[in-house]
């Protein structure tokens, strides 16, 4: 498995809408393994394919507590099919916006339909951190970032900061 470079704001790739996965095969399963390894290395609890430069509707996550065994999950072509009216606020961060955190209000519960690594349709009813993480990562697949839920002033400040950092950072090189 390969740790892949993570795309960082303000890279316009993050605003792309990802395309549905056409076929679940060994190449896709290997890519899912790379994504999980990249997410764990970062370290993070969720990662969308677009965050490693692949505009595919796939995400990985693991919301297990630190002392619990790992619980890696892969969601292919995930789609939110139901949202609760009740809302929840979580402090969110993003591997593509390192070291920036903000409180975001989202539906407290979601139902997500997706394909697993065998290409079989699954449905999960999620609440708590799993619901937040699924919504955050599915947003990535639609070109939406968690900072889009902030006020224009806060969002503009974050984007300015990352544009300045990008100027000072050497260009990323693809590896692997």
The owner of tokens 């677009």 is 50
- Give 159-169 pLDDT, tens digit per residue: 999 999 888 76
Give me 79's structure tokens. 């789609």
Q: What is the pLDDT of residues 43-96, one digit of tens each?
A: 999 999 999 999 999 999 999 998 899 999 999 999 999 999 999 999 999 999
Neighbours of 7 (CB within 10 A): 19
Residue 156 reports pLDDT greater than 60: yes
Q: Is the pLDDT of residue 157 over 70?
A: yes
For residue 4, count CB atoms less than 10 angstroms from its CB and return exposed for 0-12, middle for 13-18, buried for 19 or more.
buried
Structure tokens at 52: 């490693």
Domain range summary for the chain, segments of one domain joined by +: 12-168
Residues with catalytic roles: 137
pLDDT at 174: 43
Query: What are the start-end ranges of the H helices in the chain?
Result: 26-41, 128-141, 152-168
CB atoms near residue 156 (< 10 Å): 12
pLDDT of residue 62: 97
Percent of the chain with pLDDT over 70: 95
CATH number of 12-168: 3.90.45.10
- pTM summary value: 0.93
């Amino acid at each position: 498995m390969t740790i892949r470079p993570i795309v960082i704001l303000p890279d316009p790739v993050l605003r792309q809408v990802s395309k549905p996965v056409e076929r679940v095969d060994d190449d896709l399963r290997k890519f899912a393994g790379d994504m999980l390894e990249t997410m764990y290395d970062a370290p993070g609890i969720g990662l969308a394919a677009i965050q490693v430069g692949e505009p595919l509707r796939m995400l990985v996550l693991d919301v297990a507590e630190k002392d619990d065994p790992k619980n890696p999950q892969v969601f292919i072509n995930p789609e939110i099919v139901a949202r609760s009216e009740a809302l929840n606020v979580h402090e969110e961060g993003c591997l593509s916006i390192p070291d920036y955190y903000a409180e975001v209000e989202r539906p407290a519960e979601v139902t997500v339909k997706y394909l697993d690594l065998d290409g079989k349709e699954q449905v999960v009813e999620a609440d708590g951190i799993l619901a937040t993480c699924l919504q955050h990562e599915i947003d990535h697949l639609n070109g939406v970032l968690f900072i889009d839920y902030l006020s224009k002033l806060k969002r503009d400040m974050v984007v300015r900061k990352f544009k300045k950092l990008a100027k000072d950072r050497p260009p990323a090189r693809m590896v692997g």
